Amino acid sequence: MITLSAIGIGGYIGIAVGGIVLILLMALIIRAASKAVSQPTMEPIDYPELDKKVIGEHLSEALRFETISMVDAYKGKDEPFLAFREWMLKTYPHVAKEAELTVIAGYSLVFCLKGSDFDLLPCAFLSHQDVVPAPAKGWDYPPFSGAMGEDGYIYGRGALDMKDHLVAVLEGAEYWLSRGKHFERTTYLCFGHDEEPGQSLDGAPNIVRYFQQQGVRLEFVLDEGGSIIEGKQLFAKGYVAAIGATEKGMGDLEIVVHQEGGHSSRPMYPSANGILADVIRRIEKHPMRARMTPLLKQTFVTLSGATNPLFKFVLANADVFAPLLKVVLSKASPVTNALVRTTLATTVLWGSDARNTIANEVKVNVNFRTLSGETSEDVVKHLNKILKKYIKTGQVRIDLLAHSEPSPESRCDGEVFDTLTKSIRQTFEETTVIPYVFLGATDSRFYAPICDRIYRFGPVVMGWDDESRFHGINERIHPDKLARAVRFFVTYMDNACHAVD
Residue 61 pLDDT exceeds 70: yes
Q: pLDDT tens for residues 467-494?
A: 889 999 999 999 999 999 999 999 999 9
In 10 A of CB 141, how many CB atoms? 18
The residues near 324 (Cβ < 8 Å, ≥ 6 apart) are 314
DSSP string, 399-431: EEEEEEPPPPPPPS-HHHHHHHHHHHHTTSTTE
Of 353, 375, 404, the one marking the end of a domain is: 404
Q: pLDDT tens for residues 365-391?
A: 999 999 999 999 999 999 999 999 999
- Residue 218 β-bridge partners: 451
Looking at the domain assignment, is residue 122 inside a domain? Answer: yes
Segment among 13-22, 96-105, 170-179 with least mean pLDDT: 13-22
| Domain hosting residue 181, numbered range | 52-235+412-500
Instruction: Answer yes or no: do 224 and 188 share one domain.
Output: yes
Amino acid 27: pLDDT: 67
Residue 311 pLDDT exceeds 80: yes
pLDDT band at 42 (very low <50, low <70, confident <90, very high): confident
Instruction: Answer yes or no: do 307 and 381 share one domain.
Output: yes
Higher pLDDT, residue 120 or 463: 120
Amino acid 6: pLDDT: 53
Amino acid 24: pLDDT: 73
Q: At what angle do helices 294-304 and 309-316 cross, to 10 degrees?
A: 150
Looking at the domain assignment, is residue 461 inside a domain? Answer: yes
pLDDT band at 35 (very low <50, low <70, confident <90, very high): confident
Maximum alpha-carbon separation in the chain: 95
Segment among 16-20, 234-238, 407-411, 420-424 with least mean pLDDT: 16-20
> What is residue 382's three-state secondary structure?
helix
Looking at the domain assignment, is residue 291 inside a domain? Answer: yes
Residue 91 pLDDT exceeds 70: yes
Looking at residue 343, which CATH number applies to its domain? 3.30.70.360
Amino acid 23: pLDDT: 74
Of 341, 376, 404, the one marking the end of a domain is: 404
Tell me whether strands 187-192 and 123-128 are parallel, antiparallel or unpaired.
parallel
Looking at residue 82, which CATH number applies to its domain? 3.40.630.10
Instruction: Answer yes or no: do 483 and 354 share one domain.
Output: no
Instruction: Answer yes or no: do 222 and 363 share one domain.
Output: no
Give the separation between CA 165 and CA 186, rounded to whole angstroms: 20
Instruction: Answer yes or no: do 96 and 217 share one domain.
Output: yes
Segment among 30-39, 86-95, 193-202, 248-257 with least mean pLDDT: 30-39
Q: Average pLDDT over the chain, rounded to whole?
A: 93
Looking at the domain assignment, is residue 34 inside a domain? Answer: no
Instruction: Answer yes or no: do 348 and 418 share one domain.
Output: no
Give the separation between CA 34 and CA 37, rounded to whole angstroms: 7
Give the separation between CA 136 and CA 302, rounded to whole angstroms: 42
3-state helix, strand, coil in the chain (%, to 5): 40, 25, 35
> What is the reported pTM?
0.92
Higher pLDDT, residue 134 or 6: 134
Q: pLDDT tens for residues 196-215?
A: 987 668 999 999 999 999 99
Write out the catalytic residue numbers. Answer: 130, 195
**What would the mean pLDDT of 86-100 be, rounded to a whole number?**
98
Give the separation between CA 99 and CA 216, rounded to whole angstroms: 17
Give the separation between CA 121 and CA 112, rounded to whole angstroms: 13
Q: pLDDT tens for residues 439-455?
A: 999 999 999 999 999 99
Looking at the domain assignment, is residue 18 inside a domain? Answer: no
Residue type present at position 353: D
Amino acid 250: pLDDT: 93
Q: pLDDT tens for residues 390-438?
A: 999 999 999 999 999 999 999 999 999 999 999 999 999 999 999 999 9
Element of type H or E holding 329: helix 322-332
Amino acid 73: pLDDT: 92
Amino acid 14: pLDDT: 63
Residue 12 pLDDT exceeds 60: no
Instruction: Answer yes or no: do 472 and 434 share one domain.
Output: yes
Q: How many domains does the chain have?
A: 2
Of 340, 372, 404, the one marking the end of a domain is: 404
The residues near 116 (Cβ < 8 Å, ≥ 6 apart) are 182, 183, 184, 500
Instruction: Answer yes or no: do 109 and 185 share one domain.
Output: yes
**What would the mean pLDDT of 72-84 be, rounded to a whole number?**
96
Instruction: Answer yes or no: do 357 and 435 share one domain.
Output: no
Amino acid 30: pLDDT: 74
Instruction: Answer yes or no: do 363 and 461 share one domain.
Output: no
Residue 286 pLDDT exceeds 80: yes
Looking at the domain assignment, is residue 6 inside a domain? Answer: no
Residue 7 pLDDT exceeds 70: no
Looking at the domain assignment, is residue 227 inside a domain? Answer: yes
Residue 112 pLDDT exceeds 60: yes
**What would the mean pLDDT of 261-285 be, rounded to a whole number?**
95
Residue 111 pLDDT exceeds 90: yes
Instruction: Answer yes or no: do 203 and 76 share one domain.
Output: yes
Amino acid 21: pLDDT: 65
pLDDT band at 33 (very low <50, low <70, confident <90, very high): confident
Instruction: Answer yes or no: do 254 and 360 share one domain.
Output: yes
Give the separation between CA 376 and CA 439, rounded to whole angstroms: 16
- Residue 246 β-bridge partners: 437
pLDDT band at 37 (very low <50, low <70, confident <90, very high): confident
